[in-house]
Amino acid sequence: MDDVPEITPEVTANPSAPQIKIKGPTYPIYLFEEGVELPEDERFYLVTKTGIYFNKKTKAGDALVPVDGIPWLMEPDLEMRLKLPKVPARIIAQALTFFRKVYDKYNSEAYVTLMYSSKNNEYQLHCPKQTVSHSSVNYDRTDQPEYQDRVQNDWQMVGTIHSHCNFSAFHSGTDVGDEATFDGIHITLGNVDRNQISIASSVAINEKREELLPEKSCSGVVRAAVADDSKFMSFSRDQYYDIEMSEEDAQQLVLDAEIIENEWMPKVSKQGWQYGGKRSFFQQGGNQQYPNVWTYNNIVEKSTEKNEKNADTNSSQFLGEDFDTYLY
């Protein structure tokens, strides 16, 4: 018996359709554009506005049937690639300072918009007018930064940060819905009443969302050791974080707190009943292991002598009586 030559067919789309060459024993692929002429007696794939179809031929008749894909093609890598730099520790600390103030005063969540300037290669936060409750935030989307500043410095809205009061950080169904049409980084800070906080981070593009480790989207967030004396394994334990920053950023955060008190807090109003509370905002002193790194949390007891010494300082006025001589 004569040997049958091995043939690798090369299938080409109809001449009236865009030319797509496919190697292998496959069917033609057509792009369904205006003027495309489709063959009557062939099996083929049709890529259309509403999906991919296969022209199936049977003894009973022919039909274009929807299919999930074209089997011999490769699957694309759908992993999102974040191009923005990590959000600095000072920005996270600034948001946390605001969230703790709102929680102390109203027992409520709060929200800020994350802005980025490619011209200056830096982030900033914008606080819009908002009505808050323990489980929701309604903010005024028309309250945006000054137009001239946005244009001159190329400030763009690239994400959001909001709080989850005294419960864990996660992206709720409401969060996912609210952020579906907001391309960018979305960060949730939870357990703001604790020394260490929980953090959830994700990136959303064109209604597609992908979770990120907080360390991948933020700098200066450090996983805190979790003390657990239980002999039983836990699958629901939350991960908590400290925020570490340079001494320069820590000092600047003191000025940020004054802006938050004087300019941001007046934009916040409460839905329903109000709750009054009080907490301090900073740890006094630096990180003992890294002398040039200052930790935001881990509140320490102040002495009566230091209270009296700082009774007349501006910092005690806007940070509350529990605020010591931060960085002094």
Q: What angle do CA 306, 312, 314 make, to 5 degrees?
A: 105
* Choice between 322 and 211, residue whose per-residue pLDDT is larger: 211
Residue 201 pLDDT level (bands cut at 50, 70, 90): very high
Q: Answer whether 245's CB lies under 8 Å from 293's CB.
A: yes
Mean pLDDT of 1-12: 43
Please spell the DSSP secondary structure of 159-174, one letter per residue.
Answer: EEEEE-TTS-----HH
Helices marked H in 27-164: 89-106, 147-153
CA dihedral 41, 42, 43, 48 (to 10 degrees): -90
Q: What is the pLDDT of residue 271?
A: 83
Residue 218 is predicted with a pLDDT of 94
Q: What is the pLDDT of residue 181?
A: 66
* Distance in angstroms between the alpha carbons of the first and the last residue of the chain: 97
Residue with tokens 């929701």: 136
Chain segment 255-312, per-residue pLDDT in tens: 999 999 999 999 999 986 544 433 333 333 334 443 444 555 432 233 334 444 444 4
User: CA-to-CA distance for 126 and 121, rounded, in angstroms?
Assistant: 17
How is residue 49 written in tokens? 């506005």
What is the chain's mean pLDDT, rounded? 76
Q: Are strands 51-57 and 62-67 parallel, antiparallel or unpaired?
A: antiparallel
pTM for the model stands at: 0.66
Q: Indicate the domain borders of the chain.
A: 15-67, 89-225+236-319
Q: What CATH number does the domain located at 89-225+236-319 have?
A: 3.40.140.10
What are 150-186's pLDDT values in tens digits?
999 999 999 999 999 888 887 666 655 566 668 899 9
Average pLDDT over residues 186-209: 90
Residues 6+ apart with CB under 8 A from 73: none
Once rounded to an integer, what is the mean pLDDT over residues 121-146?
92
